[in-house]
Structure 1
Amino acid sequence: MKKFTIKDIAKIAGVHPSTVSRSLNNNPVIPEKTRKKIQDIAKKLNFEFNSSARNLSLNKTDNIGLIISNGFDNDSTMPFVNIILEKTRKILSKNSLDTIVEFSKNIYTNESNIQKMVASKKVDGFLILDSNFSKKEFNLLKKNKIPFEIMHFKPNFEDSENYGYTATDHFEGGLMATNFLIENGFTNIFTITAIQNDTSFNEFTLRTAGYRYALSKNQIEINENNILYSNISYEDTYKIIKNNIHIFKKGDAIFAQTDIIAFAVINAFRNHNIDVPNDISVVGYDDIDMARYFYPALTTIMQPLDELIEKSCYNLVKKIKNVTFKDNYKILIKPKLIIRDSVLIKH
């Protein structure tokens, strides 16, 4: 009796062998009607499906590498990273894909973990959450025809404008936060952002640009002393407020460019008997879970992470299925203003 193969089933069904293997694996990426048709053919042929053999023959691992910027390796950014990890794993699991998480660089040798994973053939593709993703790594993935999706960050390397990514519109987020404060009558608005030479977090440059544009558009003079730079940790921000309390007393509002920064600002003010929002108003950025439970509940800019992650994962899955993308596509997702109690509404 002839022993049938995945290629035989693919020929009978008129589909690619990868569609057969995914159908036999009940992968929801394949439409149910197609899956059932292929499974019925396999059953009639008494085909025994071996997923390990399938992966070897198709050079597939069913693993996705999630590459996280080393800049996220601190307590202040972990709430944000944990949300990314949880949501990414759920979406990829629905597509029968597992997630291998690595920082972009080995913390001891500084070697690229992307290069390491490519060399060891551990993954079928990459989700890259790192603005320092290099041209060298980009070319390596292109050369080896490994699908990848750049998410959350706009890449930093030279001529990166010619390459695609999926991200929140951080300029719009900074503009939205500052406009909301201006609309409520605030004019002496501070912002706390990331240290300028830290290219790990280029979304802060965009948020600050949005802040500047809102002031300029409303004919409010931009005071460079109102832009303060932190390593975006709670501790550093608290120290900045404490050491400059006399300066902040002259302001009427603060755009804190993460929720963690906003929590540090509010607590530092509280310890100096400055009331939020009655004495000074505060807007955060991210809308992490704690924002709604903090006192006062934080007005903030919500990053639409569900949409961001869904689109990034969906794009990567399509690329793995050999769907062609233009190199220079850009998907910018608009953030949303969440109004709570940390801003004094004046009208």
Structure 2
Amino acid sequence: MATIKDVAKHAGVSTSTVSHVLNQTRYVSEDITARVKKAVDELQYAPSALARSLKLKYTHTFGMLVTTSANPFFAEVVKGVERRCYEQGYNLLLCNTEGDLERLRFNIDMLLQKRVDGLLLMSDEIVSQNLDIFARHKAVPTVVMDCGKTHFPADKIQDNSYLGGYLATQYLIKKGHRKIGCITGPINKPMAEKRWAGYQKAMQDAGLIINPDWLVDGNFECEGGQQALDKMLSRGTLPSALFVCNDMMALGVINSASKHGISIPDDLSIIGYDDIKIARFFTPSLTTIHQPKFNLGRKAFDTLLDKIQSKRENDLEIKLEPTLIERDSVKQIG
């Protein structure tokens, strides 16, 4: 395998000149540039990415940490990040935590040891455990997505979940529903707490009573929605409508309702949250609150790249606004 010294000898120049030509770090005459490029082609020289990164002090690599990339919501965010990485010539190291705190710590240590240029974090465990991810490492530019307060410097990009919860509940009220329940996510997670708070505010503004029998917490997974509806059924009569705080749980609710002979939306109206890609293919298609997931990923990448290139020291907080997507899972009554 040819080395940079072989290229320099073949072209009749110094190794530093070869480096300047390949990295475009200094002006080199057209004649010498052509000789170097010809030598590179003839010797089939491939520069070492590792050696280049050590010399230039950057790796053109971002590390990304998510709870699970198998969940359609996270998968669509990751897709947005990956697309921008490809467009800008960056590599992406993706790690999943699966809600495991030790795995989270291990992955952060591994990414920082690999000298990533920046971090993209989308894992509630960082917030709920009050972690300082840079306690054992020098801080690197970091963007946190869809999480609450952090104990380390970071830009934050998040969905306005309070408004989303309000919009979802307000929509059910406008459709004539007065008996409205809520299946929340884990209430210790910031996004779940804000969506629940939006539901409460909409009910309060409409002068409606919140029945505790129609409130169940879930785990943001299909099984959680299924178990939540089963639990609600065991308490007695169902409400006429449910705000389910993410689409994955809404899918579980639809599945459980079918098993119990409950027709949606005739017997029970449902509105979800996230607008994952398969939401339109549910039966019935799911009315939901749209989060701009792909754009969230793109925005996170662009914000991180700006932080690195501008050497900006202040931390930004960016909110992406949710919108209502009306489909077939909510019935007009009254």
TM-score by length of 2: 0.81
Contact kept, 8 Å, 1:104 with 1:114, in 2: the verdict is: no
Does the C-alpha gap of structure 1 residues 325 and 42 become closer, same or farther in structure 2, counting only changes over 3 Å?
farther
Does the C-alpha gap of structure 1 residues 131 and 138 become closer, same or farther in structure 2, counting only changes over 3 Å?
farther
Map 1:1-347; keep pairs closer than 5 Å: 3=14, 5=17, 21=23, 43=30, 45-46=32-33, 50=47, 52=49, 53-69=51-67, 72=68, 78-104=71-97, 109-110=102-103, 111-118=105-112, 120-133=113-126, 134-138=130-134, 144-157=138-151, 164-196=155-187, 199=188, 201-245=189-233, 247=235, 249-327=237-315, 329-346=316-333
> What is the distance in 1 between the residues matched to 2:312 and 2:58?
19
Instruction: Encode CA deviations 1:188-235: one digit per residue, 9 max, x unaligned.
Output: 111111233xx4x32111110111111111221233332211223322
> What is the distance in 2 between the residues matched to 1:337 and 1:326?
33
Q: Give the gaps of 5 or more residues in structure 2.
A: 1-11, 41-46
> What is the distance in 2 between the residues matched to 1:245 and 1:152?
32
User: Which amino acid in structure 1 is aligned with residue 66 of structure 2?
Assistant: I
* Deviates further, 132-141 or 212-221: 132-141
Greater gyration radius? 2
Does the C-alpha gap of structure 1 residues 78 and 208 become closer, same or farther in structure 2, counting only changes over 3 Å?
same
Q: Tell me how far 1:186 sits from its aligned partner.
A: 0.8
Does the C-alpha gap of structure 1 residues 215 and 58 become closer, same or farther in structure 2, counting only changes over 3 Å?
same
* Deviates further, 124-133 or 293-302: 124-133
Contact kept, 8 Å, 1:63 with 1:97, in 2: the verdict is: yes
Q: Tell me how far 1:2 sits from its aligned partner.
A: 6.3
> What is the distance in 1 between the residues matched to 2:231 and 2:171?
27
> What is the distance in 2 between the residues matched to 1:140 and 1:175?
41
TM-score by length of 1: 0.78
User: Which amino acid in structure 2 is aligned with residue 338 of structure 1?
Assistant: I
SS in 2 for 1:285: coil
Q: Percent identity?
A: 26
User: Which amino acid in structure 2 is aligned with residue 62 of structure 1?
Assistant: H
> What is the distance in 2 between the residues matched to 1:248 and 1:262?
20
Q: Tell me how far 1:102 sits from its aligned partner.
A: 1.4
Count of aligned positions = 307
Instruction: Encode CA deviations 1:99-125: one digit per residue, 9 max, x unaligned.
Output: 11113589595444212322x234111
Q: CA RMSD in A?
A: 3.0
Q: Give the gaps of 5 or more residues in structure 1.
A: 10-19, 25-37
SS in 2 for 1:57: helix
> What is the distance in 2 between the residues matched to 1:128 and 1:227?
30
Contact kept, 8 Å, 2:177 with 2:333, in 1: the verdict is: no
Contact kept, 8 Å, 2:247 with 2:274, in 1: the verdict is: yes
